Structure 1
């Protein structure tokens, strides 16, 4: 067994979208920095970022009803939708910069235009959708959207959904042509190919087993080469933990106080995938419905056209499952070993609070294929068992922490960044909107961890993201310029946005 030691400037743990994005940004800001990446699997983008392990939606709040809530006074709060849309515009700008600089190529391999639609059934839901549409249509970020409750118009929008549907059923939808399908697996591989060309040291089949402080304030990582079995020691002044569900264990090993009292609850996802090309050809959109009463936000059903390996596919889901693993390739002991003395009370409190989620997961796990097809028939009345196969998607670890609003053991649905007080460690936890907002999230990491350099780096950041530091919602002309230029660079054939 060997025991080598190597120093580097930055260590990225995990070869997913987040590490790929952070590494690419840092290489543009400080090309002289030496960056090392450790990934326990054999290639990049094989866990959460893999195209079969996520919905492939460019989350811009154009269709996701869980990003807008109806308040007690009947009005619809679109604050979260605005925030997520602005963040996705940041991602589009960065990707466009990379394409225009020839740092990545063939954007059609990872992003395509695809209408985003919301579809609801029942008179109460139709009223909500109309109010949501009215609240959003006056905002420049969402202009160009359409609303209809006319069956003939809906037949034009999604014939597969309307085929043989009862005419007396209350149904409505919104449509936005600015939606996208994003292959985050392909994007991740592109970014790591670029980083490799920039002499970033990428080590696959290497597992980080521990990390600890050195006397000079740096971090020493104990890394196991899974092929040779040798143990290596690597040190860096900054470490980013982007290991998906595996991030929590590494964060705990760091011992930083900011990582205390945080737990994780794993939820697995399953999708139905259509195996009939004739059915696949009849649908061309991402259509999001509304979660059933009592179901968690991540259970929002959607019928998605996907483009994977240049082939058009059709997926429906997600159906929730349960596994104690924090990663698809993880261990059945992941959940139990994540419980520590400092987060035990937090985890127990969450267990008491989230009995309804536990019940929901049990119900989902026990569903037969026929019962899943019955759920699909709410979207496609003519769906048959023979046309669909069940595939297991990725594992998502929902963050559990103590919050002022929710109290002890509050389950968080979203993306969380944890940073040490001195900025030497950052870890990404949580789930959706995740990869869609990776550029915004990684800029936040950089701002938190390198505050002294931000003034020096700001001109370059603005070159990469022209809207940096500004609200696109409050600058319609800049929004028009950003949407038009990014659509051209990314070869998106969406309608031109409206500018006032």
Structure 2
């Protein structure tokens, strides 16, 4: 091991969109602070942030039915949808600030306008969608949403889905044109290019092996250079663990009390990708369906137009799979080694509670291509096997922890940030809506970890995020102003792009 020790102000572990966002924010707030990044892979944005490892949806609760739950009295709870939409608006303002400040360029390389739609079948689901539409369309955050259960109108909106469809079953859809398709891989690479230009030190092919607190209150990391094999020591006042599924192990190694009684359950994803340009050309939207009864939120089927590498694509999925790895490039021992005396009871309790999830994953893994085609035909009735291939998406680690509401071993669906009491270390765990709400999540990290600076930094934060500390839902004029300006800056005027 090398005797050399390198000191810095901030260390970011993992070169994904979360670290990129936090690093960029920190450079705007305190440009003089030194930032060092460690990434195990040869490039940034290669795990969960990579464009092929996620759905590329700008999650604003415009089409995702799991964010609007029907309550026992039949009414629709839209609180989660409002929260996620407001958080996405924060991301849009941040990206607009970066473009206007010329810190990043060519927003069309990472964000495209694309209608977001919800599509349901069956009388009960149509009734639900109609109630959801009424609840959302009265809210300024969801202005412009349309509803239709008329086959002629639906044929206009989604011809590929309506073609050759049996007409005896009630169907309906909502449509809103302010949705987006986002290439989070491209965005991540842009942000790291910017960080490098601001003298942040980006270390690829460097694996953080251990992390511990020193007697003087700093954090010391043992980092292995994967090319040379040497191990170096790096210390920092603040550490952010943003290594996707790999964050849990490092959080455990940190030894902070807040990291105890937390486990993780890995779920992989598979998408079907259309290889027929004629079919791809017939669809232009992200269309989300309704999860089947008993299926977990991650199983919601959707048919997505995507823009990747300046090319229009069409994906359907996701189909869930199981691998004990916590990262796509992880180890088969990740799950086993994450279980320790502190979380074993939490994990065992989750195992008992989540038998239905286990059965669901087993069924998903066992699906044949023809069975997956049948799922696709729920969306595209005349889909043909030869027009579709498969791509394995990224690994997601669902957080398991003890909660007051759910009890011991409760599976969490969403994004979790764990911070130490003194704010010197933070770790990001969990999954969707993740990247879409990265700016809001990282501002929360800054608020929790640097409370002594917030008053000083607030004017700059408000310059970056004009709505900071304000509810846009309660301020429709500001919402309209921000929505108009961000759409203009980011080029979000709905039209089919033409690729050369």
> For residues 291-331 of structure 1, what are the alpha-carbon distances to aligned partners after superposition, in whole Å with 9 as ceiling and x for unaligned?
00110001000000000000000000000000000000000
SS of equivalent to 1:8: strand
Q: Which residue of structure 1 lines up, in the alignment, with residue 77 of structure 2?
A: 77
Q: Which residue of structure 2 lines up, in the alignment, with residue 270 of structure 1?
A: 270
Q: Residue 137 of structure 1 contacts residue 143 of structure 1 at CA under 8 Å; is this kept in 2? A: yes
SS of equivalent to 1:283: coil
- 5 Å-filtered alignment, 1:277-288, equals 277-288=277-288
TM-score of the superposed pair, with normalisation by structure 2: 0.99
Q: Which residue of structure 1 lines up, in the alignment, with residue 410 of structure 2?
A: 410
> For residues 247-284 of structure 1, what are the alpha-carbon distances to aligned partners after superposition, in whole Å with 9 as ceiling and x for unaligned?
00000000000000000000000000000000000000
Q: Which residue of structure 1 lines up, in the alignment, with residue 302 of structure 2?
A: 302
Q: Which residue of structure 1 lines up, in the alignment, with residue 474 of structure 2?
A: 474
Rounded Cα–Cα distance in structure 2 between residues aligned with 1:22 and 1:377: 41
SS of equivalent to 1:247: helix
Rounded Cα–Cα distance in structure 2 between residues aligned with 1:4 and 1:383: 60
- How far is the alpha carbon of 1:4 from its aligned partner? 1.8
- How far is the alpha carbon of 1:494 from its aligned partner? 4.5
- 5 Å-filtered alignment, 1:23-42, equals 23-42=23-42
Q: Which residue of structure 1 lines up, in the alignment, with residue 150 of structure 2?
A: 150
Q: Residue 209 of structure 2 contacts residue 223 of structure 2 at CA under 8 Å; is this kept in 1? A: yes
Q: Residue 400 of structure 2 contacts residue 411 of structure 2 at CA under 8 Å; is this kept in 1? A: yes
Q: Which residue of structure 2 lines up, in the alignment, with residue 420 of structure 1?
A: 420
Q: Residue 2 of structure 2 contacts residue 233 of structure 2 at CA under 8 Å; is this kept in 1? A: no
Rounded Cα–Cα distance in structure 2 between residues aligned with 1:335 and 1:390: 25
Rounded Cα–Cα distance in structure 1 between residues aligned with 2:169 and 2:157: 17
SS of equivalent to 2:117: strand
Q: Residue 96 of structure 1 contacts residue 490 of structure 1 at CA under 8 Å; is this kept in 2? A: yes
Question: Is residue 312 from structure 1 mapped to residue 342 from structure 2 by the alignment?
Answer: no
Q: Which residue of structure 2 lines up, in the alignment, with residue 343 of structure 1?
A: 343
- How far is the alpha carbon of 1:3 from its aligned partner? 3.4
Q: Residue 222 of structure 1 contacts residue 232 of structure 1 at CA under 8 Å; is this kept in 2? A: yes
Rounded Cα–Cα distance in structure 2 between residues aligned with 1:212 and 1:365: 39
Q: Residue 120 of structure 2 contacts residue 171 of structure 2 at CA under 8 Å; is this kept in 1? A: yes
Give the gaps of 5 or more residues in structure 1. 496-500
CA RMSD of aligned residues (A): 0.7
SS of equivalent to 1:448: helix
Rounded Cα–Cα distance in structure 1 between residues aligned with 2:46 and 2:59: 20
Q: Which residue of structure 1 lines up, in the alignment, with residue 93 of structure 2?
A: 93
Q: Which residue of structure 1 lines up, in the alignment, with residue 493 of structure 2?
A: 493
Question: Is residue 120 from structure 1 mapped to residue 120 from structure 2 by the alignment?
Answer: yes
Q: Residue 3 of structure 1 contacts residue 231 of structure 1 at CA under 8 Å; is this kept in 2? A: no
> For residues 402-451 of structure 1, what are the alpha-carbon distances to aligned partners after superposition, in whole Å with 9 as ceiling and x for unaligned?
00000000000000000000000000000000000000000000000000
- How far is the alpha carbon of 1:125 from its aligned partner? 0.1
Q: Which residue of structure 2 lines up, in the alignment, with residue 206 of structure 1?
A: 206
Q: Which residue of structure 1 lines up, in the alignment, with residue 498 of structure 2?
A: none
Rounded Cα–Cα distance in structure 1 between residues aligned with 2:314 and 2:228: 41
SS of equivalent to 2:4: strand
Q: Residue 3 of structure 1 contacts residue 230 of structure 1 at CA under 8 Å; is this kept in 2? A: no
TM-score of the superposed pair, with normalisation by structure 1: 0.99
- How far is the alpha carbon of 1:72 from its aligned partner? 0.3
- 5 Å-filtered alignment, 1:100-499, equals 100-494=100-494
- How far is the alpha carbon of 1:2 from its aligned partner? 2.9
Rounded Cα–Cα distance in structure 2 between residues aligned with 1:4 and 1:74: 64
Q: Residue 487 of structure 1 contacts residue 494 of structure 1 at CA under 8 Å; is this kept in 2? A: no
How many residues are aligned here? 495
Rounded Cα–Cα distance in structure 1 between residues aligned with 2:298 and 2:362: 15
Rounded Cα–Cα distance in structure 1 between residues aligned with 2:387 and 2:217: 58
Q: Residue 13 of structure 2 contacts residue 38 of structure 2 at CA under 8 Å; is this kept in 1? A: yes
- How far is the alpha carbon of 1:391 from its aligned partner? 0.8
- How far is the alpha carbon of 1:169 from its aligned partner? 1.6
SS of equivalent to 1:36: strand
